[in-house]
Structure 1
Amino acid sequence: MSSGLGRSRAYSLVDSSQVSTFLISILLIVYGSFRSLNMDFENQDKEKDNNSSSGPFNGNSTNNSIQTIDSTQALFLPIGASVSLLVMFFFFDSVQVVFTICTAVLATIAFAFLLLPMCQYLTRPCSPQNKISFGCCGRFTAAELLSFSLSVMLVLIWVLTGHWLLMDALAMGLCVAMIAFVRLPSLKVSCLLLSGLLIYDVFWVFFSAYIFNSNVMVKVATQPADNPLDVLSRKLHLGPSVGRDVPRLSLPGKLVFPSSTGSHFSMLGIGDIVMPGLLLCFVLRYDNYKKQASGDSCSASGPANISGRMQKVSYFHCTLIGYFVGLLTATVASRIHRAAQPALLYLVPFTLLPLLTMAYLKGDLRRMWSEPFHSKSSSSRFLEV
């Protein structure tokens, strides 16, 4: 009996929904991290062009869209997230339409950012890269207009159908955009942020039911919202035949994959992808910075007994493997306990601890701990991973 139960749990781990969750979450982190690194290279080039043509005063103009989290923000972000969670728990009926519209707008912009490289590739042979002026709205290339138009179409189809695949596509866009546009400046800020979010995740999944008589995290994550078209139809008294047959919407704050049999589904919040993804993005930038600074030479401050093979293993490899193991552990725990698990409880230790250990052994821990990056232009464009 026990062996049969063990086999069924093992088979559940290779179910299509679980495999899809694993692959997509890792691909989003890797892709978002490299988009972020590429944006750094582009900003460096623009800064050099601005400095050479307009003097030093426009040097930081290209970095306005990038948000760097400092220590204070890292400490208070779990508190702000808890307040937002409580607002959604107690006042969901009152704010659901506004929240849905805001989420749809953000998802449109994020998915347009996800589609932009593909649109640039498609429009390069047949369209010049000159920007088209739209007055006060700004200037945009043909690729940017195409990606935004496709994103608007996808959001409209999602609103009309509520299909889970379209919701997943929008969630993927949000993940990539947040990983690409948000920066962790040091390992200290990374530890503060991830440790605080671990406590936040554990409390709202495991202990909120004792206070609020309901699992706050699960209820907010799974509660569908009224479709804005249905609400608009009722407010304007357009009749039962106009806008009344649209489904309720499950918001793109998570990735959802149904199993091949349709009997269950796998769900992973985008916070469980984005927050470890920010750490992966940080270590990828550090790997690239160290490669530029030392030309792939071994750290002189590292212990003498570190093998050459370990020196060749990047921090990005180490942390990405830790993320995979943590996600696998969270999946096994959810199958054993047959209940939702706080994924960050497993992801944070399995990513941070190997990274801290490896940084200590290589002699980079002190340098990574506080502000390891220096303003420096480089001609390097690629990092082998």
Structure 2
Amino acid sequence: MEPLWKLTYLLEPASVTLILTAVAVTFASALRALNYGKEMERNRDFSEASITLDRSQALMIPLASSCSLLLMFYLFASVSHLVTAFTAIASASSLFFCLTPYATYVKSQFGLVDPFVSRCCSKSFTRMQGILLLVSVGIVCAWLVSGHWILNNLLGISICIAFVSHVRLPNIKICSLLLVCLFVYDIFWVFFSERFFGANVMVSVATQQASNPVHTVANSLSLPGLQLITKKLELPVKLVFPRNLMGGMVPGSNAVEFMMLGLGDMAIPGMLLALVLCFDHRKSRDALSPMDASFSKGHKYIWFALAGYAIGLVTALAAGILTHSPQPALLYLVPSTLGPVIFISWTKKELLELWEGPGPNSSDKAHLMEV
């Protein structure tokens, strides 16, 4: 156990930036999920409706994640090029999804004309979308060439936001099942996997760097500028911040060391935040009187969940500093986010409503009739 004064390392620029970024990304993911749902409902575009998890899918996620973790642990060197290519495609599509609302806002504010260019997969493709696609692909290409940590974080953030927007939880019952399963999953693979597999599987996979296929191709073709292309890549499945960010550094650490936070430690709590944010929005929309609306506006579950996330994240980082060992972040994040939501909803006598989720509304019934 390290002395308590070492908790001052949490004030290092890298630590503060990591905490603020994670909290902002988690909230932004929930907000984008809410706006995306309203956009789909407004446009009645059910062809791109998000996936709502049921009980069996919630149980399968930890099992599928465990299989993927073992696959990456044993075969990462063999499949790293394939994983990098798949990640690049996912990053480009996620970045396109995240930039689209800003492009739409700019277009509406300045009254820009956005003519249709073509139709792809029964959907209209406009000039603005073409520009966004080129920008997204360009950023991914810049990441493939440079491997810079800022571009890595940008792509990782876009993947997290897109995931939370498209994969939803219907109620607290399914949410609790998923979070408890992932709570056990994270603890096992961080604390106990070494007993069974001879190494800490989670840490080994999280710290692996992928071979850069762009460098491999350029090297085989003897292309000029090979020295400018990075050989290894940090995949955008985690946020990374150099410990010497803005000159700050933990004593004894290497200048190239990074602080890391997995995307799952933002995306999974982000799904809970998206659920309670949609609940808050629905309660405010359905308020019968101005007094009810003002009451619900001052007691939104999103703020309790977001504050709990920040506290859980700081606790996880503090535990890592004090124990000088990797910590499963969900060990702290699940109780600190799910606990306040369940307790506050119980005191407000809204737990049953949150537990079972909303009944089908008119738009859902119309969609079912169309199907």
User: Structure 1 length normalisation: TM-score?
Assistant: 0.85
For the pair 1:40 / 2:37, whether they are aligned, the reply is yes
| Counterpart residue number, 1:111 | 95
Distance 2:192 2:276 in 1: 33
Cα distance, 1:373 vs structure 2: 4.6
| Counterpart residue number, 1:313 | 299
Q: Is the 8 A contact 2:164 2:270 kept in 1?
A: yes
**Cα 1:376/1:293, change in 2 over 3 Å:** farther
| Counterpart residue number, 1:330 | 316
| Counterpart residue number, 1:277 | 270
Q: Is the 8 A contact 2:277 2:301 kept in 1?
A: yes
| Counterpart residue number, 2:57 | 73
- Summarize deviations over 1:157-198 as a string: whole Å, max 9, x none: 111111111101100101111111111001010001111111
| Counterpart residue number, 1:171 | 156
Distance 1:33 1:67 in 2: 15
| Counterpart residue number, 1:246 | 229
SS across alignment from 2:260:
strand
Q: 1:89 aligns with which of 36, 56, 73?
A: 73
SS across alignment from 1:255:
strand
SS across alignment from 1:294:
coil
**Cα 1:298/1:214, change in 2 over 3 Å:** farther
Give identity over the alignment, percent: 35
For the pair 1:98 / 2:82, whether they are aligned, the reply is yes
Cα distance, 1:126 vs structure 2: 5.9
**Cα 1:36/1:346, change in 2 over 3 Å:** same
Cα distance, 1:240 vs structure 2: 7.5
The 10-residue stretch of structure 1 (66-75 or 33-42) with the greater mean CA deviation from structure 2? 33-42
Alignment: residue pair count: 350
The 10-residue stretch of structure 1 (10-19 or 338-347) with the greater mean CA deviation from structure 2? 10-19
| Counterpart residue number, 1:228 | 213
Cα distance, 1:40 vs structure 2: 2.0
Distance 1:293 1:121 in 2: 27
| Counterpart residue number, 2:166 | 181
- Summarize deviations over 1:228-254 as a string: whole Å, max 9, x none: 1233346xx423757576221110000
Cα distance, 1:142 vs structure 2: 3.0
Q: Is the 8 A contact 1:184 1:279 kept in 2?
A: yes
SS across alignment from 2:211:
coil
Cα distance, 1:136 vs structure 2: 5.2
Q: Is the 8 A contact 1:123 1:142 kept in 2?
A: no
| Counterpart residue number, 1:30 | 27
Please provide the CA RMSD for this pair. Answer: 2.4
Q: Report the residue type matching 2:141 in the other structure.
A: L
Distance 1:188 1:63 in 2: 27
- 1:344-359 residue pairs with structure 2 within 5 A? 344-359=330-345
Cα distance, 1:82 vs structure 2: 0.1
**Cα 1:231/1:6, change in 2 over 3 Å:** same
Q: Report the residue type matching 1:22 in the other structure.
A: I
Q: Report the residue type matching 1:222 in the other structure.
A: T
Q: Is the 8 A contact 2:283 2:296 kept in 1?
A: no
Q: Which runs of 5+ in 1 are unaligned?
A: 48-60, 300-307, 378-385
| Counterpart residue number, 1:58 | none
Moved over 3 A (4+): 121-124, 134-138, 239-245, 261-264, 295-299, 308-312
SS across alignment from 2:325:
coil
For the pair 1:360 / 2:346, whether they are aligned, the reply is yes
Q: Is the 8 A contact 1:333 1:341 kept in 2?
A: yes
- 1:254-269 residue pairs with structure 2 within 5 A? 254-259=238-243, 260=245, 261=248, 263=255, 264-269=257-262
| Counterpart residue number, 1:51 | none
User: Structure 2 length normalisation: TM-score?
Assistant: 0.88
Q: Is the 8 A contact 1:298 1:311 kept in 2?
A: no
For the pair 1:6 / 2:4, whether they are aligned, the reply is yes
Q: Which runs of 5+ in 2 are unaligned?
A: 250-254, 364-371
The 10-residue stretch of structure 1 (278-287 or 139-148) with the greater mean CA deviation from structure 2? 139-148
Distance 1:87 1:334 in 2: 26
Cα distance, 1:130 vs structure 2: 4.0
Q: Report the residue type matching 2:78 in the other structure.
A: S
Q: Is the 8 A contact 1:133 1:140 kept in 2?
A: yes
Distance 2:344 2:307 in 1: 13
Q: Which has the higher contact order (CA 8 A, sep 6+)?
A: 2
| Counterpart residue number, 2:190 | 205
SS across alignment from 2:239:
strand
SS across alignment from 1:91:
helix
